[in-house]
Amino acid sequence: MRERVLEGLTRTFGRSERPPTVIRAPGRVNLIGEHTDYNDGYVLPMAIDRAIWIALRPSSAPAITIHSLDFDQTDSFALDAIEHATGSWADYVRGVAWALQQHGYPLAGWEGVLAGDVPVGAGLSSSAALEMAVALAFAAVAGWSWDPARMARVGQQAENQWIGVNCGIMDQMISASGTQGHALLIDCRSLEAVAVPLPAGASVVVLDTATRRGLVDSEYNQRRAQCQAAARFFGVTALRDVSPAQLEKASDRLDELIYVRARHVVSENQRVLEACKAMQAGDPAWLGRLLNASHASLRDDFQVSSPELDAIVESAVAQPACCGARMTGAGFGGCAVALVRAGDAPAFGDAVAASYGSRTGLTPRVYVCQSTAGAQVLT
Ligand code: GLA
């Protein structure tokens, strides 16, 4: 990818005396802690070896020109009057520039090319990766230092207010600050992040159901509203502040639907903290059981799974090499994540593809993922 963007830069903009800068910002998979980020709770994602890359050079004009090698499209805009593009990848670039200005960052112009290998729309956060790559491009050109939590907030603001997608902070945080060989325990209230080692002897395998649901945005917003209703009932800022015991005590006074939604969030936060212990102990079987419990909770209490996600998770856990599996990301389609005995991952992928294929008639994609660093400038 590095060569691809460097070569693309010369082809698109010609040769130059000025040395290019190369930036990489990864996609992510969340191991556990789903629908907890917007409840000020805990998440445990890892940055993956699929990323968005930008090669760029500073320009003298206060403007951005960026060419996407994947879409073969070029976008240009002036930094003093940023307007919306056409709802494409270019809007993420403009949205981040706008959000950086809102946060008071001085911006300087550059020209660059963009390419990536994060599958788009699969739930592996290609948009957060693009946002963090663009933010780091601006940081590199203007010379300010990289503050992962602030940059994650910038990306989230671009997503919420410029693009109009109501997401939490997880995807941007992990793309901004991942650690190789580790997942990151992120406290979505304080934005403190602690690297937790992945258990040796286990591989993380992403299973893409090859389904996408149009309803995901409205369902997502509805879940957020239900969580807020539960928090209001308890008189707290967010469900993060409700303990399992408190929730149980209130169970017969709470609306039944609100109760099961809250039960997912409250129990999921506990599972994330326990998952960290399992990882510190280097115990993939323990971690796998937590993944299975998370899936059951997302399917039954939070109701954000789908028949295809359930089918792929069932196909996964039926394999002897599988320690555990669950849907990952917002749900209603997209990907599951499985923890698999290392060495068995390729055969596991084939077996799941065959089993899922015969159950649904769909052809899944399988990605054996390595955990990588977050956004970085490469020399
Ligand atoms: C999407 C959002 C995240 C998070 C997950 C669910 O990926 O972008 O912020 O809320 O859903 O855990």
Mean per-residue pLDDT, 204-221: 89
- Residue with the smallest CA separation from ligand 1 atom 1 is 330
Q: pLDDT category, 87, cuts 50, 70, 90?
A: confident
pLDDT for the residue 17: 85
Count, residues in the chain: 379
Q: pLDDT category, 214, cuts 50, 70, 90?
A: confident
pLDDT for the residue 242: 98
Tens digits of residue pLDDT in 327-351: 999 999 999 999 999 999 999 999 9
Pocket of ligand 1 contains residue 168 by CB under 6 Å: yes
Cα(33) to ligand 1 centroid in Å equals 10
- Please identify which of the residues 37, 75, 91, 171 carries the catalytic annotation: 171
The torsion defined by the Cα of 371, 158, 1 and 368, in degrees rounded to 10, comes to: 30
pLDDT for the residue 14: 92
CB 283, CB 23: distance < 8 Å = no
Q: What is the mean pLDDT of the chain?
A: 96
Domains belonging to the chain, first-starting first, are 2-194+373-378 (3.30.230.10), 198-369 (3.30.70.890)
Q: pLDDT category, 86, cuts 50, 70, 90?
A: confident
Q: DSSP assignment of 217-234, as one string?
A: HHHHHHHHHHHHHHHHHH
pLDDT for the residue 326: 98
Q: What are the beta bridge partners of residue 326? A: 337
Determine the residue type at 192: E
Angle in degrees, CA 61, 63, 66, rounded to 5: 120
Q: DSSP assignment of 313-371, as one string?
A: HHHHHTSTTEEEEEE-SS-SSSEEEEEEETT-HHHHHHHHHHHHHHHHS---EEEEE-B
Mean per-residue pLDDT, 261-288: 97
Pocket of ligand 1 contains residue 34 by CB under 6 Å: yes
Q: pLDDT category, 215, cuts 50, 70, 90?
A: low
Q: What percent of the chain has pLDDT over 70?
A: 100
Tens digits of residue pLDDT in 143-186: 999 999 999 999 999 999 999 989 999 999 999 999 999 999 99
Lowest mean pLDDT among 240-244, 351-355, 375-379: 375-379
pLDDT for the residue 31: 98
- Residue with the smallest CA separation from ligand 1 atom 2 is 167
Tens digits of residue pLDDT in 41-76: 999 999 999 999 999 999 999 999 999 999 999 999
